[in-house]
């Protein structure tokens, strides 16, 4: 199926010239090509030559993802696969960075105007220091990371992320990059039909891709998106206002927010946890528990733990750790998230993993490039390690805080 998905425009989205658009399309096409055509070759290469070579050289079988990695890194096919994947990532960011750079002052002005008109709050504290796990390396090789500012009122890495992530996900997360939030919203609607949160917190929201669907689904709720990146929340605030869903955003650390105890009925995150750290993750769970009201829900949509997968799948996924500046990607999948939630104060019986089916079919026929066939081919895939987005749906970790009576007892 040819991927013709196109991102939906909004007032603060960087506009591309014809050549910029063509470079961006090439990066998206290259990623698609790697996943459809190069990725499937890894399995036969491993079975027919890398594994036998490993067994000959070591006198034992390859037991885990580390052994498989040792067996594969010297193989030319793997080298071309991994190198091309890395280069595609670099071309992707560069194709967007050049475009954003050309129009940055104008984008900043647009964002300023939209934010000034928005009734929603934008809190950016003076002297905020982001933690090392987002500044030591530029995560997923995005130049500047989430927090770099190159001028006053900068939104550049927010704009870079918005357009870059669309290309990274090849449009699989919908014309507004919001499939994760939309999928979790649908999940809530199906599984908790009477749930009406008064206040919602989206932790690690970046530019608010997944935050906006909550505003659509719960129009009466007070919604906050928080992120470590100042340029990200600035962009998010302007973007949400420009899309007609003004939402409150703040530069804040999910490990230690400034919200009062019991403030929210729903605390969510989307692809946040794997970009934190071994020390931060338990603190984020504890903070979610603290700010939740009795019977409130915590839902984290992220990557499934490694213990659910075979070693070869683990090996392919762990390439992100080694080649895409994702230092916590592998280690996070080794953590016992259910035990973490329990230690944070959630009742063990209320904690579980589940799957939230992708919402991409909702766009079929409604947005440019999202034909029934193209959207269906994304939604109906089997899970394949190394492809963007698990076929079948997003993995969600759900926990419910105890009732007030139980807490008082």
CB of 324 to another protein, least distance (A): 9
CB of 18 to another protein, least distance (A): 6
**The length of the chain, given as a count of residues:** 409
Which string of x and - marks every residue 316-355 that binds another protein (by CB under 8 A)?
-----xxx-x-xx-xx---x--------------------
DSSP letter at 36?
I
Pairing of strands 352-356, 394-400: antiparallel
Nearer to another protein, 47 or 80 (CB): 80
Which string of x and - marks every residue 230-269 that binds another protein (by CB under 8 A)?
----------------------------------------
User: 76-117 vs 18-33: helix axis angle to the nearest 10?
Assistant: 140
Q: How far is CA 165 from the centre of its chain?
A: 9
CB of 29 to another protein, least distance (A): 8
Among the listed residues 8, 45, 124, 137, the single contact to another protein using CB under 8 A: 137
Nearer to another protein, 22 or 403 (CB): 22
Helices of type H across 34-155? 42-45, 51-58, 65-72, 76-117, 132-135
Among the listed residues 42, 97, 273, 341, the single contact to another protein using CB under 8 A: 97
Rule CB under 8 A: say whether 87 interacts with another protein: yes
Reference 64, options 306, 323, 325; nearest CA is 306
CB 285 within 8 A of CB 254: no
Binders of another protein among 4-23, rule CB under 8 A?
18-19, 22-23
What gap in Å lies between CA 22 and CA 354, rounded to an integer? 39
Among the listed residues 12, 13, 16, 27, the single contact to another protein using CB under 8 A: 27
Which residues on adjacent β-strands are paired with residue 396?
301, 354
Pairing of strands 122-123, 199-203: unpaired
Among the listed residues 16, 30, 42, 288, the single contact to another protein using CB under 8 A: 30
What gap in Å lies between CA 237 and CA 298, rounded to an integer? 23
Q: Kindly state the tokens that stand for 328.
A: 């916590």
Rule CB under 8 A: say whether 303 interacts with another protein: no
DSSP letter at 308?
G
Binding site for another protein (CB under 8 A): 18-19, 22-23, 25-27, 29-30, 74, 79-80, 82-84, 86-88, 90-91, 93-95, 97-98, 100-101, 104-105, 132-133, 135-138, 141-145, 148, 150-151, 154, 156-157, 160, 277-279, 282, 321-323, 325, 327-328, 330-331, 335
């Amino acid at each position: 199926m040819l991927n013709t998905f196109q991102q939906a425009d909004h007032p603060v989205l960087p506009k591309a010239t014809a050549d910029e658009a063509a470079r961006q399309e090439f990066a998206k096409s290259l990623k698609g090509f790697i996943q459809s055509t190069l990725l499937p070759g890894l399995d036969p290469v491993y079975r027919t030559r890398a594994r036998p070579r490993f067994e000959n050289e070591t006198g034992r079988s390859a037991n885990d993802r580390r052994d498989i990695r040792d067996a594969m890194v010297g193989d030319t096919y793997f080298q071309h696969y991994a190198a091309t994947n890395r280069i595609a990532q670099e071309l992707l960011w560069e194709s967007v960075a050049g475009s954003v750079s050309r129009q940055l002052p104008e984008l900043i002005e647009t964002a300023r105007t939209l934010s000034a008109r928005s009734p929603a709050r934008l809190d950016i504290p003076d002297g905020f220091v982001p933690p090392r796990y987002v500044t030591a390396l530029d995560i997923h090789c995005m130049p500047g990371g989430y927090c770099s500012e190159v001028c006053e009122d900068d939104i550049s890495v927010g704009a870079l992320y918005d357009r870059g992530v669309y290309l990274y996900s090849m449009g699989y997360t919908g014309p507004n990059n919001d499939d994760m939030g939309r999928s979790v919203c649908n999940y809530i609607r199906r599984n908790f039909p009477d749930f009406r949160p008064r206040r919602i917190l989206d932790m690690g929201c970046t530019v608010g891709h997944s935050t906006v669907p909550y505003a659509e689904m719960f129009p009466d709720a007070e919604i906050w998106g928080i992120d470590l990146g100042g340029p990200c929340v600035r962009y998010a605030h302007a973007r949400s206002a420009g899309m007609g869903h003004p939402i409150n955003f703040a530069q804040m650390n999910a490990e230690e927010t400034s919200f009062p105890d019991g403030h929210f009925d729903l605390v969510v995150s989307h692809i946040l946890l794997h970009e934190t750290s071994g020390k931060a993750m338990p603190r984020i769970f504890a903070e979610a528990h603290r700010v939740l009201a009795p019977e409130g829900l915590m839902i984290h949509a992220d990557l499934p733990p490694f213990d659910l997968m075979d070693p070869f799948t683990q090996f392919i996924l762990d390439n992100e750790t080694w080649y895409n500046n994702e230092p916590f990607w592998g280690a996070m999948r080794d953590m016992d998230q259910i035990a973490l939630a329990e230690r944070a104060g959630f009742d063990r019986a209320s904690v579980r993993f589940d799957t939230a089916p992708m919402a991409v079919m909702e766009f079929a026929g409604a947005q440019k490039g999202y034909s029934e066939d193209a959207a269906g081919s994304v939604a109906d895939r089997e899970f394949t390690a190394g492809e963007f987005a698990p076929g079948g749906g997003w993995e969600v970790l759900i926990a419910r805080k105890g009732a007030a009576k139980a807490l008082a007892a």
